[in-house]
Structure 1
């Protein structure tokens, strides 16, 4: 894997990621506010660490890294949905030259009411639990909002 510019020794991000909609049985959804974009509220997202990392492992790892919520605290469900989208220009530098699109695999993680949240302050500065429709309205990303609007179909 080629390394990014000298100022950043980390490898380029793999353009395969997960979106994890963390929710309660009552369909309250956890949203987190990005540290690098305060107007950007979202569900948990993150790229694979290595190309062969299973999406389920990526989803569990990202949920824990970003919120402190371990997948074992709830039920992680693969929604068998993928979003393919153009990478936002503000984050294009994280990907190898010429990479412009990302494939995102969608999961739900149902956790008990009152599940504590511990944010990674390098990534997120605030969180809120909102009823699913309000959470969809608050999301910056259209694909994230669409996934939240599908939530009732996956908890029947």
Structure 2
């Protein structure tokens, strides 16, 4: 599927079978990660020129949001947040209980889970790596950046 997985090893079950749901989930996070990095390296106007890419990222986001929403709903239905488990999702569900002064809505919980999932994809590390690769390919920009850092004014004169 995507280049983000080495031979698909992360999308296999313990029996070595491919897990299509996990593959789709990983693909969605990968698409969103690439879009975050793309937008960080390109001006905001570029998303208007790359409509297909933007639509693909939106579809991936909607898929991931729906997937996590289903998980939250199942966990709430089975009584998550009852103190029996101590994972992050159960803690968020516990914070949505009636005894809380300002309980979290299901939407709040899903958005928090989205932040955790997408925050763990190293989109910024990818962005910085791409920026450094671009600097390595363009010595004149590298020189200008070095002058800007050393002088603080970007004039290139010491």
- Return the TM-score normalized by structure 2: 0.25
Q: Which has the larger radius of gyration?
A: 2
User: Using CA pairs below 8 Å that are at least 6 residues apart, which structure has the higher relative contact order?
Assistant: 1
Greater share of strand: 1
